[in-house]
Amino acid sequence: MSGGGTGGHIYPAIAIANELKCRYADAEFLFVGAKDKMEMEKVPQAGYTIKGLWISGLQRKLTLKNVMFPIKLISSLVKARNIVKQFQPDVAIGTGGFASGPLLKMAARAKVPYVLQEQNSYAGITNKLLAAKAHKICVAYDGMHRFFPKEKIVKTGNPVRSDLVEISIDQQQAKVSFKFDAKKPVLLVLGGSLGARRINQLVEKELSFFATLGLQLLWQCGKFYWEEYQKYESEDVRVRPFLNQMDYSYAAADFVISRAGAGSVSELCLVGKPTIFIPSPNVAEDHQTKNAKALVNEDAAIMIMEKELDAQFQNHFKNLLGSEVRQNQLSKNIKRLALPKATSHIVDEIEKLLLSKTATH
């Protein structure tokens, strides 16, 4: 299994492995990631072995990293070939990220079939390059035939953490677990696993605005920003570097402000709370804006671009807070887009591949 660089590629890979493990208790798994990326920490935490390749993406401007790219690529291809040779997999699975390129290329060369999982509404470069030899490509959005061969596409949705598929926690109980007043509304702020500088700056600037609206704040600022923002912890504000119990966090929320990474979007569809997306402009192919737009087009969320926050945020937020009809409408529409059985459907496709492989031997 290979996918990494960001939580959006890593967590789906882990979810798929967990589901496969449930069906095949004695199966062996090996993850392959990029040496200095977060998968080298997150995958072992989930109980799986991982090997690292010396690989990184191309920068958009001429840098030393770009000059090193051909050397890194050759080194990664050689190492990936050796990994495939030693491990002798029955199937390979790629969830995006640079490391999956060399690994799946070498898997194909060794006649190992592979499945791709594309989380975003705008396909990543690695998956586009790997599509031609993939057996199946599992996607989360309509219209993906713009990037991939139509006959290989299966719309499954994105894998999400199993504890979020059915959140049965009572909202008041969830609020109390964060020591909030159970009767007052809670705004949940999510900046992705590493935090989002611009969202943190917005929240800091609007703290008194939120207070005048009588809101309580559950603010995930990210580990890089924890030092800077923990001073705002107060009776109505909880500041956390990371939220471990996402089921409780989502259950406590009345409103959500979030980045629009594929994983967050899929989770928020299941959760069904009124959401304002602030897409990151610093990601490849601006895919967060495209993810958020796909929901805005279904009247399932509000999107505010970073450059428009100062001018538009307060108006958008006040309008949302002041209209229960609008809140219900957004909740209903976002929930309609949820695909809760995504992990199971992806593993069904992998299983079909394994069975057809067994039948031909």
What are 31-59's pLDDT values in tens digits? Answer: 999 988 889 999 999 999 999 998 766 55
Coarse DSSP helix, strand, coil percentages of the chain, rounded to the nearest 5 percent:
50, 15, 35
| Residue of 5, 50, 328, 19 lying closest to 156 (CA atoms) | 19
Instruction: Write phi, then psi, for 91 (nearest 5 degrees).
Output: -155, 150
120 is annotated as contributing to ligand binding:
yes
76 is annotated as contributing to ligand binding:
no
DSSP 306: G
Give the mean pLDDT per block of 10 residues along the chain (361 residues): 86 94 96 90 94 73 67 88 96 92 95 95 90 96 94 94 77 96 97 85 97 97 93 96 90 97 91 96 84 95 96 96 96 94 95 82 57
Gap between the Cα atoms of 167 and 180, Å rounded: 19
pLDDT the model gives residue 112: 96
Model confidence, pTM: 0.84
pLDDT the model gives residue 58: 55
pLDDT the model gives residue 357: 75
Residue with structure tokens 């997999």? 89
Which amino acid is located at 339 in the chain? L
156 is annotated as contributing to ligand binding:
no
Residue 220: strand pairing partners: 190, 240
Report domain extents, the chain.
Answer: 7-160+340-360, 163-336
Under CATH, which number does the domain 163-336 receive? 3.40.50.2000
- The pair of three-digit structure tokens given for residue 295, joined into one six-digit string: 């929901």
288 is annotated as contributing to ligand binding:
yes
pLDDT the model gives residue 73: 84
Question: Do the two domains 7-160+340-360 and 163-336 of this chain adopt the same fold?
Answer: yes
pLDDT the model gives residue 75: 86
pLDDT the model gives residue 287: 86
7 is annotated as contributing to ligand binding:
yes
CB count, 10 Å around CB of 1?
25
pLDDT the model gives residue 37: 86
pLDDT the model gives residue 195: 81
Q: Give the model confidence (pLDDT) of 313-344 as tens digits.
A: 999 999 999 999 999 999 999 999 999 899 99
DSSP 225: T
CATH, domain 7-160+340-360, list 3.40.50.2000, 3.30.420.280, 3.30.1490.20, 3.90.870.10: 3.40.50.2000
